[in-house]
């Protein structure tokens, strides 16, 4: 934002630099979301084959993963605020929205299974 904007060339260079920096700022929390979603597989394994006395820890892990993903989703959204949503930005937005929705579903499913395991102890 501190780049010069006196001439048309400077304005275009500034606009391109802001876009590039903003895309980078969107990609970082999106990568966090993509990495964190993989953790649900580990949580599922903990529920199914882990120590029954620590099954509640698996539930807490599922809740923490969902929170991580939703927090990163908020960061994606704020970094997109005010941007024209088209092309690359639209793809990232859809991916982030889908990951957040998937995280909610996975968390709900896994916490339900944790509760069922607890009731069966």
Position 69 scores a pLDDT of 98
Per-residue pLDDT tens digits for 93-105: 999 999 999 999 9
Q: Residues 6 or more apart from 42 whose CB is under 8 A from it?
A: 61
Per-residue pLDDT tens digits for 52-82: 999 999 999 999 999 999 999 999 999 999 8
Position 41 scores a pLDDT of 97
Residue that the structure tokens 């997109």 belong to: 80
Per-residue pLDDT tens digits for 4-23: 777 888 888 888 888 999 99
Burial class (CB in 10 A: 0-12, 13-18, 19+), 62: buried
Position 121 scores a pLDDT of 82
């Amino acid at each position: 934002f501190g780049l010069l904007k006196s001439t048309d060339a400077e304005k275009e260079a500034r606009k391109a630099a802001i876009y590039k920096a903003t895309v980078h700022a969107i990609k970082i929390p999106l990568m966090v979301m993509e990495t964190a979603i993989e953790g649900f597989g580990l949580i599922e394994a903990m529920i199914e084959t882990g120590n029954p006395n620590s099954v509640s820890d698996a539930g807490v892990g599922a809740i923490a993963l969902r929170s991580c993903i939703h927090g990163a989703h908020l960061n994606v959204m704020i970094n997109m605020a005010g941007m024209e949503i088209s092309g690359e930005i639209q793809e990232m937005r859809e991916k982030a929205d889908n990951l957040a929705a998937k995280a909610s579903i996975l968390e709900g499913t896994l916490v339900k299974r944790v509760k069922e395991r607890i009731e069966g102890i």
